[in-house]
Amino acid sequence: MIAIKRAYDPPQRGDGARILVDRLWPRGVSKEALAAEMWLKEVAPSDKLRKWFAHDVDRWHEFQQRYLAELKENPEAWQPIVERARHGNVTLLYAAKDSGHNNAVVLQHFLERHLPE
């Protein structure tokens, strides 16, 4: 199972492997508080795409399309997450305030299509 959670939410027992999937470290969060197993900056949207989106909901559909294209071109960035998910739960951590319109939402759906049944 692949779940998503804000980096500011405390770890929970069922989180499994906690993986930060943002290009920038969450402001004000210590490494201990985040309790992430790994930080995969390269799986996050490119700086250009991240800045263009700027969490503007009107750009959400286009952001999803562009981010999916980036993911398809860069399988080595997301493959470690798929490998980890084959052995247990994974929680993708993100810092955005909007829980419905962020890169982790897109990444979660993308990765679920790449997991074996």
* Neighbour tally for 33: CB within 10 Å: 13
Domain ranges of the chain: 2-112
pLDDT band at 114 (very low <50, low <70, confident <90, very high): confident
pLDDT at residue 18, rounded to an integer:
98
Give the phi and the psi of residue 13 in degrees, each rounded to 5. -55, -40
- Interacting residues of 92 by C-beta distance below 8 A, sequence separation 6+: 2, 3, 4, 5, 19, 21, 81, 104, 107, 108
pLDDT band at 71 (very low <50, low <70, confident <90, very high): very high
pLDDT digits (tens, 9 = 90+) for 8-54: 999 999 999 999 999 999 999 999 999 999 999 999 999 999 999 99
